[in-house]
């Protein structure tokens, strides 16, 4: 898991009795409330020891092959059957299903057409399941856009579904959860 804040500031409320909602990310120092205890914006980076390495640039985009417009995020799970590919496909569908991207079809970006949409996909998958993941199946759920990169990192979760249902293909009670970030640009 990683947390990187490249352009912006992070405010951690000095009063620890307040709720977690006081942890706030702001796009500029001027939008931060003024606390005398804070003297300057800080850059925070935290990484787990098991995280896989990948080429990263400002903002956490896996590589610099496109101009980033926005990031879609989703989560998917497979409660029965222990199929990590199914969980990853659901995570990607979840990430893209609540968005419409008319700018590419309508020519809203000067000099950029629909055919120039690029996608980069980052999947958080439990480490022990990386080898079971079928990336070609995952990529097949994207209806358009050129996929320029797929990165699989340690993440997600294996937990108990609470029940083993043999009729649904269960081998055990494991539920697989996968997180997805889909970077959209041109």
Is pLDDT of 92 > 60? Answer: yes
What tokens were used for 127? 């480490």
Instruction: Quickly state the pLDDT bin for 141 (edges 50, 70, 90).
Output: very high
Same domain, 63 and 39: no
For residues 175 and 4, the model is more confident at 175
Same domain, 34 and 101: no
Stated as kind and residue range, the H or E segment containing 84 is helix 84-96
Q: Are 148 and 67 in contact (CB under 8 A)?
A: no
pLDDT at 64 (0 to 100): 75
Which residue's entry shows tokens 């629909």? 114
Q: Tens digits of per-residue pLDDT, 22-56?
A: 334 444 445 444 444 433 343 444 443 333 333 33
Same domain, 14 and 62: no
pTM here is 0.67
Same domain, 153 and 176: yes
Same domain, 59 and 14: no
Is pLDDT of 147 > 80? Answer: yes
Instruction: Quickly state the pLDDT bin for 102 (edges 50, 70, 90).
Output: confident
For residues 5 and 81, the model is more confident at 81
Instruction: Please tell me the distance from the alpha carbon of residue 117 to that of residue 104, in angstroms, as a whole number.
Output: 7
Residue 122: CATH number of its domain: 3.30.1330.20
Instruction: Quickly state the pLDDT bin for 63 (edges 50, 70, 90).
Output: low
Same domain, 113 and 57: yes
pLDDT at 45 (0 to 100): 40
Is pLDDT of 97 > 90? Answer: yes
pLDDT at 56 (0 to 100): 39
Is pLDDT of 136 > 80? Answer: yes
Instruction: Please tell me the distance from the alpha carbon of residue 130 to that of residue 158, in angstroms, as a whole number.
Output: 12
pLDDT at 61 (0 to 100): 54
Same domain, 101 and 145: yes
Stated as kind and residue range, the H or E segment containing 104 is helix 102-106
In the Cβ-directed half-sphere of 135, how many Cα atoms lie within 13 Å? 14
Provide the residue range defining the domain that includes 67.
Answer: 53-185
Same domain, 112 and 89: yes
Same domain, 123 and 141: yes
Mean pLDDT score of the chain: 75
Same domain, 146 and 116: yes
Same domain, 145 and 175: yes
Same domain, 174 and 116: yes
Q: Average pLDDT in the 86-95 region?
A: 98
Is pLDDT of 77 > 80? Answer: yes
Q: How many domains does the chain have?
A: 2
């Amino acid at each position: 898991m990683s947390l990187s804040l490249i352009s912006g500031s992070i405010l951690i409320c000095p009063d620890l009795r307040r709720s977690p909602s006081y942890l706030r990310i702001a796009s500029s120092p001027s939008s931060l409330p003024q606390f005398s205890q804070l003297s300057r914006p800080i850059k925070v980076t935290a990484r787990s020891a098991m995280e896989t390495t990948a080429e990263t640039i400002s903002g956490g985009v896996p590589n610099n092959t496109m101009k980033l417009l926005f990031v879609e995020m989703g989560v998917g799970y497979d409660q029965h059957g222990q199929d990590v590919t199914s969980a990853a496909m659901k995570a990607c569908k979840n990430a893209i299903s609540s968005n419409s991207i008319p700018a590419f079809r309508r020519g809203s970006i000067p000099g950029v057409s629909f055919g120039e949409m690029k996608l980069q996909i980052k999947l958080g998958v439990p480490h022990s399941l990386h080898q079971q993941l079928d990336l070609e199946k995952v990529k097949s759920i994207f209806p358009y856009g050129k996929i320029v990169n797929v990165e699989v990192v340690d993440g997600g979760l294996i937990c108990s579904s609470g029940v083993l249902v043999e009729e649904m293909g269960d081998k055990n009670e494991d539920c697989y959860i996968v997180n997805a970030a889909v970077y959209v640009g041109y």
